[in-house]
Amino acid sequence: MKHFIMSLALVAIVVSCGDKESSSPGVVTTGFTMTGSGQPAVAQTNFNKMISLLMPSAIALPPAALVDSTLTPVTLNDAWIVIKSIEFESEEFSTASEVDGDEVELTGPFHVDLLSSLPLSFGDVQVPAAGLRRIKMKLHKVDALPAGAPAGLNNNSIYFTFTRVGISFTYQSDDSAEFEIGGPKPVIPNSTEDLLVEIKTADLIKKINLSGIINGTIISASNRVLRTNPCPLIEPGLADLYTCFRKGLETQANFGSDDGDFDLDANDESVD
């Protein structure tokens, strides 16, 4: 089971958690990067990691087309997510006996623009050397807008705006809970490849039936927009669009060890 494409990037924040030389036994210092990706996700080159720290090894490109589950074209105009902290876990699912993983305390909140032009890194983080199967990211409700952010992001932790057949609508959430991405395959971190979270926004949109939305609709916790089974490929039996988006953001994502192209493909080790 997996948990978290619109190409393009997530964030530009550096969080230093220690020099590589100072890593303790059982801990690996490695880069941590996030990206939103589409179909196709990125134009790839073969720069190695050292060079990619100075010059990004992938240039984000717009996806060829975004469509919903009815194959109707959809335009994603804004896509923001706000993160407070992250934690890495060795198990795919949380249990009553779960021991907390190594938490990376960020000095956020970090306002992440999924439509930024380049995928950038959080910098180096220290994580357990054992296999990782899940990442927990605590969302943060915005209380002060950063420069360049849309006004609608205020008081929310997730904010997307769309246009479909000339109809504009919004998905927004003020959720401050943990956002989890996980899967059954262990990812063994190493110091030569960055850990990567890839949010596959196009896969999310393609699995939701967005027909029948009225112009100006705001999909939110207080206006969930009831529908009959609108996203069976995300979770059968769901009855509203808000839950489709919230669950879909976790299920339509991947976490793994990136070879430098900012895209988790068959050549990369990932939890999916």
- What pLDDT digit, counting tens, does each position of 12-55 carry? 333 334 344 445 568 889 888 777 764 333 333 333 444 444 44
Q: What is the Cα–Cα distance from 190 to 126, expressed in whole angstroms?
A: 10
Given a contact cutoff of 8 angstroms between Cβ atoms, the answer to whether 170 and 218 are in contact is yes
3-state secondary structure of 83: strand
Q: Is residue 144 part of a domain?
A: yes
- Residue 118: what pLDDT? 63
User: What are 172-229's pLDDT values in tens digits?
Assistant: 999 998 889 999 999 999 988 888 888 888 899 999 999 999 999 999 999 999 999 9
Q: Is residue 198 part of a domain?
A: yes
User: What's the token pair of residue 222?
Assistant: 């207080």
Q: Which of 36, 203, 49, 5 is nearest to 116 (CA)?
A: 36
Q: Is residue 160 part of a domain?
A: yes
User: What are 120-164's pLDDT values in tens digits?
Assistant: 567 788 888 888 999 988 999 999 998 889 999 999 999 999 999
3-state secondary structure of 21: helix
Q: Is residue 142 part of a domain?
A: yes
- Residue 1: what pLDDT? 45
Phi, psi of 167 (to 5 degrees): -105, 125
User: What's the token pair of residue 221?
Assistant: 């916790």
Q: In this structure, what DSSP letter does residue 226 have?
A: B
How does 214-247 read in b/e, with b if 16+ C-beta sit within 10 Å?
A: eeebebbeeebbebeebbeebeeebebbbbbbbb
47 C-beta neighbours (distance < 10 Å), count: 16
Q: Is residue 42 part of a domain?
A: yes
| Residue 61 banded pLDDT, cuts 50, 70, 90 | very low
User: What is the reported pTM?
Assistant: 0.79
CA terminus-to-terminus distance, the chain: 7
E strands in 19-119: 27-36, 42-44, 58-60, 74-89, 103-104, 110-113
Q: Is residue 96 part of a domain?
A: yes
User: In sequence order, which residues have a C-beta less than 8 Å from that of residue 160 and are 6 or more positions away?
Assistant: 76, 78, 79, 80, 170, 171, 172, 245
Q: Is residue 108 part of a domain?
A: yes
Q: Is residue 159 part of a domain?
A: yes
CA distances from 156 to 176, 221, 222, 247, 254 (A): 9, 11, 13, 17, 23
- Residue 174: what pLDDT? 96
Element (H, E) at 179: strand 178-187
Domain span including residue 225:
20-262
Count of domains for the chain: 1
Q: What is the Cα–Cα distance from 41 to 79, expressed in whole angstroms?
A: 16
